[in-house]
Amino acid sequence: MRQGKLSVARHSAYQLLRYFARYTRRIAISDRRLVSYDGNTVVFRYRDRKDANRVKTAKLDGPSFCRRFLSHVLPHRFVRIRRYGILSNRVRKTLIEQCRDLLGAQAPQAPKPESRSAACFRIFGVDPESCPKCKTGHLLLPRAP
């Protein structure tokens, strides 16, 4: 009986590992940062930006590591967007201006400012200020004293 439970546990661990493996490519942590795993504790390297960018190691128990790791996995049908080249953060503004100059294009006009409720109505077709019960009156929230 003991052998059966052990093989089920190994099979479950293998399934879990296969599940996580699908998400390890270019997400929260790379394989080279993982130092060790003894069945209970995960040891990994990280860069401490507050301490002169030194590389340090940290230990977490398995469930804590999984919880932190899975917080970086996107829900079903969400797409991760990474910006490189012209659209990278550091050079975006200057390179887009340079592209516009080379193409002879004008910058688009800034969008007109609108309230949150107007934006919600425009996007979702629902007036957030209408009463959720009767759907005809307006919802008035009491002000804090």
Contact 60, 41 (CB under 8 A): yes
For residue 46, the tally of other CB atoms under 10 A from its CB is 12
Q: Does 114 map to a domain?
A: no
Instruction: Measure Cα distances from 5 to 1, 9, 11 in Å.
Output: 7, 6, 10
Q: Does 128 map to a domain?
A: no
Residue 1 confidence (pLDDT):
43
For residue 29, the tally of other CB atoms under 10 A from its CB is 16
Q: Does 64 map to a domain?
A: yes
Domain holding 67, by residue range, is: 1-106
Q: Does 127 map to a domain?
A: no
- In the chain, which residues have pLDDT < 50? 1-2
The CA-based angle 26-28-33, given to 5 degrees, is 85
Residue 36 confidence (pLDDT):
92
Q: Does 57 map to a domain?
A: yes
Number of domains forming the structure of the chain: 1
